[in-house]
């Protein structure tokens, strides 16, 4: 039994560490942005106005967006533009996960373009110690309707079968390139009505490419009541088939949509009935994972302070070093810097999801981010409180 370790104390309230990379001017800009996002009416109206102004080509609109909400939540419009962000995060021991956030047009040409862009992120990660993971959504390289049809067990036409095989080839190209370049790659989770298909594809990629170490990582949305069981079953499959399981644990991203579709289609909502049930399931998944690191590695993709603290405690109890390569923390760029920077400062493996893409193309992502911040109880208020506290701390220090 390993001896418990004494880990560095992590304070998620340490704003001096959390905002060490930000100038006072940048903090004031963040304060204005999060104050705006704290007002749901302004988010709804402002989002609609920005989208229309962009589509109408009103001069200056793109520049305003790029230097405000886009700058806060995205790394740039291209991989090249993201390089200063990657370097800046790297100075603070925080890795970058480049997330190509352009929502495709759903045709073969679009899928091929997305695959090619994702291959570039893998190539960049291969030569950069500050990029610990690549990531992709299966719907970026495959038709969601086709994935849904496969999950439902419906027969595919000859054309559909060919399209599905092309999708499988794209996924294999990404995972094979990641394996060849020794780059870990996340397969993001999506909606439940085609998630089983994604899980099957991810499991096959893991069986194929995770023989020596976890290269391909699947994602588990713990707001679904069956996902701990899925994680446990996948661990057992990996053990029996002699490969390594990579698991990214998140709470989930499609709650309202899942509830709406379940009601429309007349089946039980797959989402936990309460937030507490989700929190409990998430923490149980953390416990299971730390107990089974012999055959798996995990990334806790969470903005939840209690879960983040729990994982640090579990590592200490298991006698594992903060920087154990099998355990990572991740947050979205532009949010929860109090978690990311303080965890990294204490020696834990930490990374930021850094979305990128043309301003016009990532507007849906930015509007979701603004709406989610407004919807998450207290999240924007928490960000605001921490920013205010740091501004005040710097004023007092200057006196």
Per-residue model confidence (pLDDT) at position 188: 96
Domain assignment of residue 68, yes or no: no
Domain assignment of residue 296, yes or no: yes
Residues 74-78, mean pLDDT to the nearest whole number:
95
Domain assignment of residue 331, yes or no: yes
pLDDT at 377 > cutoff 50: no
Domain assignment of residue 228, yes or no: yes
Domain assignment of residue 202, yes or no: yes
Per-residue model confidence (pLDDT) at position 45: 67
Per-residue model confidence (pLDDT) at position 28: 94
Residues 212-219, mean pLDDT to the nearest whole number:
98
Residue among 376, 368, 227 at smallest CA distance from 304: 376
Per-residue model confidence (pLDDT) at position 52: 76
Residue among 298, 314, 143 at smallest CA distance from 234: 298
Q: How many domains does the chain have?
A: 1
Beta carbons within 10 angstroms of residue 33's beta carbon? 22
Q: How confident is residue 367, by pLDDT bands cut at 50, 70 and 90?
A: confident
Domain assignment of residue 381, yes or no: no
Domain assignment of residue 284, yes or no: yes
Burial of 6 (0-12, 13-18, 19+ CB in 10 A): exposed
Question: What angle do the packed helices 158-180 and 144-151 form, to 10 degrees?
Answer: 100
As a whole-number percent, the residues of the chain with pLDDT over 90 amount to: 76
Per-residue model confidence (pLDDT) at position 36: 80
281, 228 contact by CB (below 8 A): yes
Domain assignment of residue 11, yes or no: no
Residues 241-266, mean pLDDT to the nearest whole number:
94
Q: How confident is residue 373, by pLDDT bands cut at 50, 70 and 90?
A: low
pLDDT at 376 > cutoff 70: no
Cα dihedral 254→258→259→261 (10° resolution): 140
Domain containing residue 152: 78-362
Buried/exposed 124-141: b ≥16 CB within 10 Å, e otherwise: bbeebebbbbbbbbbbbb
- DSSP of 357-371, one letter per residue? S-HHHHHHHHHHHHH
Judged by DSSP in three states, 60 sits in: coil
Residues 33-43, mean pLDDT to the nearest whole number:
75
98, 82 contact by CB (below 8 A): yes
Looking at 39-53, 107-121, 278-292, which range is the least confident one? 39-53
Rounded to whole angstroms, how far apart are CA atoms 14 and 37?
23
365, 104 contact by CB (below 8 A): no
Question: What pLDDT, in 10s, does the model give residues 130-181?
Answer: 999 999 999 999 999 999 999 999 999 999 999 999 999 999 999 999 999 9
Measured distance between the N- and C-terminal CA atoms of the chain, rounded to whole angstroms: 52
pLDDT at 3 > cutoff 90: no
Residue 347's CATH number: 3.20.20.220
Question: What pLDDT, in 10s, does the model give residues 57-71?
Answer: 788 878 888 888 889
Mean pLDDT taken over the chain? 92
């Amino acid at each position: 039994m390993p001896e418990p370790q004494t880990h560095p104390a992590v304070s998620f309230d340490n704003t001096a560490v959390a905002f060490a990379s930000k100038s006072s001017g940048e903090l004031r800009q963040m304060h204005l942005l999060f104050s705006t996002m704290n007002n749901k009416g302004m988010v709804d109206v402002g989002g609609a106005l920005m989208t229309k102004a962009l589509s109408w080509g009103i001069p200056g609109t793109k520049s305003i967006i790029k230097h405000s909400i886009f700058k806060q939540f995205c790394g740039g419009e291209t991989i090249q533009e993201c390089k200063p962000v990657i370097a800046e995060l790297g100075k603070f021991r925080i890795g970058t996960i480049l997330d190509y956030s352009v929502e495709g047009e759903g045709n073969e040409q679009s899928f091929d373009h997305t695959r090619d862009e994702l291959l570039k992120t893998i190539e960049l990660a291969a030569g950069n110690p500050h990029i610990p993971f690549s990531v992709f959504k299966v719907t970026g390289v495959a038709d969601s309707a086709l994935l849904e049809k496969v999950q439902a067990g419906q027969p595919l036409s000859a054309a559909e079968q060919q399209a599905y095989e092309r999708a499988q080839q794209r996924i294999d190209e990404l995972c094979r390139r990641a394996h060849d370049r020794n780059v870990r790659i996340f397969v993001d989770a999506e909606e439940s009505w085609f998630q089983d298909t994604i899980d099957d594809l991810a499991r096959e990629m893991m069986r194929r490419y995770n023989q020596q170490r976890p290269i391909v990582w699947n994602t588990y949305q713990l707001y679904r009541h069956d996902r701990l069981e899925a994680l446990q079953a996948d661990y057992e499959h990996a053990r029996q088939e002699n490969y390594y399981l990579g698991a990214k644990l998140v709470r989930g991203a499609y709650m309202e949509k899942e509830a709406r579709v379940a009601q429309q289609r007349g089946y039980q909502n797959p989402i936990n009935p309460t937030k507490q049930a989700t929190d409990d399931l998430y923490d149980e998944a953390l416990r299971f994972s730390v107990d089974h690191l012999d055959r798996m590695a995990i990334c806790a993709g969470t903005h939840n302070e209690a879960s983040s603290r729990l994982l640090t405690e579990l590592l200490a109890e298991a006698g594992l070093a903060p920087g154990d390569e099998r355990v990572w923390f991740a947050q979205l760029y532009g949010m929860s810097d109090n978690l990311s920077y303080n965890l990294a400062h204490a020696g834990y493996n930490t990374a930021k999801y850094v979305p990128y893409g043309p301003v016009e193309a990532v507007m849906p992502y930015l509007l979701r981010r603004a709406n989610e911040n407004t919807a998450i109880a207290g999240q924007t208020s928490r960000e605001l409180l921490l920013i205010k506290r740091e501004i005040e701390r710097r004023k007092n220090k200057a006196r």
